[in-house]
Amino acid sequence: MKVPKKPSGRKRSPFYWWRRFRTHKTKPWNASLLAKIKNGDFEYPPYFKQADWELYWMKEECNEFKKNYIGFDDPEKDTRYMDIRRKAYKRYNLLYKDGHETDNKRLQDLVDGFCKEFKITKFEVWKIMETFGGTTEELYRYVANKFDYNRLSKKKALEIFKLNNV
């Protein structure tokens, strides 16, 4: 795992103090689904990787603290050492939670986008997504080519979909 240098000096928002890196800039709500896909709005969030980096930086900081420790007791029982670990684990947990929330929201938005653009149900989108093994853009092209829903009514599109799956 390649870990970047720990960033410092970035002005942090009091609402998201645990995030050390900038977030992904998404397209506006009225952009087309394909434009959002090309922008990477539905890709896997980087928060899980950043959470792992936090643990790596915690270990580095703890080892540095132990190396430079001047005291009589065990350095791991020092409150400053425990504060380092506490802050790192708090950041780790919040980043991990953000990663799950963001991933679920992006997946739900993708499904909603497919439903809106191609006039199919969520169940049908989930069924296609479970068996498809390519990228998000390839999935878009697959659905657009296989089920030409943009020119059909919802009722007709459902009939064609049912015929294809029988």
**9 falls within a domain:** no
Does residue 30 lie within any of the structural domains? Answer: no
Helices (H), 76-121: 79-118
Does the residue 112 lie in any domain?
A: yes
For the four alpha carbons of 78, 80, 81 and 87, in that order, the dihedral sign comes to positive
| 28 within domain boundaries | no
CA-wise closest residue to 163 among 147, 151, 145, 152: 147
Q: Which amino acid is residue 145, in one-letter code?
A: N
Please tell me the least confidently modeled range out of 11-25, 56-70, 146-160: 146-160
- Average pLDDT of the segment spanning 78-82: 90
Total domains in the chain come to 1
Model confidence pLDDT, tens digit, residues 19-75:
777 788 888 888 888 889 999 999 999 999 999 999 999 999 999 999 988 878 888
Torsion angle, CA of 146/153/155/129, rounded to 10 degrees?
Answer: 30
In this predicted structure, what is the pLDDT of residue 156? 55
* Residue, of 21 and 103, whose pLDDT is higher: 103
In a domain, 6, yes or no: no
Q: Which domain holds residue 123?
A: 40-165
